Amino acid sequence: MVLAVTACGGGGTGSGSGSGADDGKPKDSTAAQSKQSEAVIGIAPEDGAESVKTSGALKVDASKGKLTEVVVKDPDGRKVDGEISGDGARWTPSTHLAASTEYTVHAVAKDSAGRTAAEDSSFTTLTPKNTFIGHFTPEDGSKVGVGMPFSLRFTRGITSPEDVEKAIRITTEPPVEVEGHWFGNDRLDFRPEKYWKAGTEVTVDLNLDGVEGRPGVYGEQSKKVSFTIGRSQVSVVDAEKHTMKVERDGKVIKTIPITAGAPGTETWNGKMVVSERLKVTRMNGETVGFGGEYDIKDVPHAMRLSTSGTFIHGNYWGGGAFGNYNASHGCIGLRDTRGGWDRTAPGSWFFENTMIGDVVVVKNSNDATIAPDNGLNGWNMSWEKWKA
């Protein structure tokens, strides 16, 4: 800039016809230089850098001035959220960067005289060799019951849980506080303190692309998932009275005779969420530790309540057990027909009136409360422990 001003001034000869030297005297080059901002902007990584880490590498700072604007964008124009410090000395991103992505940086700073300086730069983030994703439930666009958590199963064990959880944002309408809880290092569930309110709209932003979940292993998932909470249905099984009361939107709509776990194979107590619906399924005792005690190939109207094999299902072989005594190996049985053809039978009725995410509560069974991670059953953990 100094050289350019000197050239326009005609070298101080006074022979130029422009505005270079009206009085025929050369302009002082230091006066021109003083018009430049003294602010110095530093951007890391350096311009043109490649294979940049997705977290911790991007930094913008200013000396002899204060940052007033920092814009970091990907090729699609999406901006990276960040914040300028109170003293204007630095800008830091509030989130990680995506992998295999070119970013541009535009930064502006002002010195004490209000003069601005600007810097532009670009860089490309690394392409990971090892990646992970999260398999989630419920499905995008689904309608579910009031007990349904948002549950993620990661394909790799996570050793940086805070970074992963920070990359997942859940919003609801109407608003409600939602918190996450880790079960081991590969499962993360989210729920509110109490059952969802009927009609709640839930949106989940999975911004896992570029998150380093464990050393050298990066997320490759960027997805928005939405689901709706349907009507409220909570069914209470009394194993001592051999009944189940189906309560919908606060009113009991049906009382059904049931049979629960027999002595020695009692049903778990506690709150259980329906996680799977099967119109017909095979139940083999060998798969759940009961050897060859039973193998029923055509169990009708089965709804899963636990990972370990607890179901509430139709039962066509129970005889007079329903409403009278407990005869199962831990499941909750409802009278039904072989093939499930009778739509008025309790097993068929309950199946048709139950959705994924509905709650079944068991009480007065001679067994412990089901573990929160055995199925989608985190409601059996206090809110304080859940948040901790």
Which residue is catalytic, options 96, 301, 313, 329?
Answer: 313
Return the pLDDT at 287: 66
Give the residue-averaged pLDDT of 267-292.
Answer: 86
Return the pLDDT at 12: 37
Domains of the chain are: 1-36 (no CATH), 38-125 (2.60.40.3780), 130-229 (2.60.40.3710), 233-384 (2.40.440.10)
Could you read off the pLDDT of 327-348 as tens digits, one per residue? 999 999 999 999 999 999 999 9
Q: Return mean pLDDT, the chain.
A: 91
Return the pLDDT at 105: 98
Interatomic CA distance for residues 253 and 231, integer angstroms: 13
Could you read off the pLDDT of 185-203 as tens digits, one per residue? 999 999 999 999 999 999 9
Return the pLDDT at 283: 87
Q: CA Rg, the chain, in Å?
A: 33
Return the pLDDT at 165: 98
252 touches 237 (CB < 8 A): no
pTM: 0.86
Give the range among 74-88, 137-151, 270-284, 292-306 with minimum mean pLDDT. Answer: 292-306
- In the predicted structure, residue 3 carries a pLDDT above the cut 50: no
253 touches 246 (CB < 8 A): yes
Confidence of residue 272 (pLDDT cuts 50, 70, 90): very high
Q: Is 331 a catalytic residue?
A: yes
Give the residue-averaged pLDDT of 214-226.
Answer: 97
Q: Would you give the DSSP letter of residue 231?
A: S
Positive or negative: CA dihedral 251, 343, 147, 235? positive
Return the pLDDT at 295: 82
Query: What does the block give as tokens for 244?
Result: 């189940």
Which residue is catalytic, options 181, 242, 301, 331?
Answer: 331
Return the pLDDT at 22: 45
Q: Provide the phi-psi class of 220: left if phi over 0, else alpha when psi is between -120 and 50, else beta.
A: alpha
Residue 77 CB contacts under 8 Å (≥ 6 apart), including other chains = none
Query: What does the block give as tokens for 252?
Result: 């009991």
Return the pLDDT at 282: 87
Could you read off the pLDDT of 158-183 as tens digits, one per residue? 999 999 999 999 999 999 999 999 99
322 touches 288 (CB < 8 A): no
Q: Is 329 a catalytic residue?
A: no
Return the pLDDT at 135: 98
- In the predicted structure, residue 5 carries a pLDDT above the cut 70: no
Return the pLDDT at 11: 36
Could you read off the pLDDT of 244-267 as tens digits, one per residue? 999 999 999 999 999 999 999 999
Beta bridge partners of 247: 234, 252
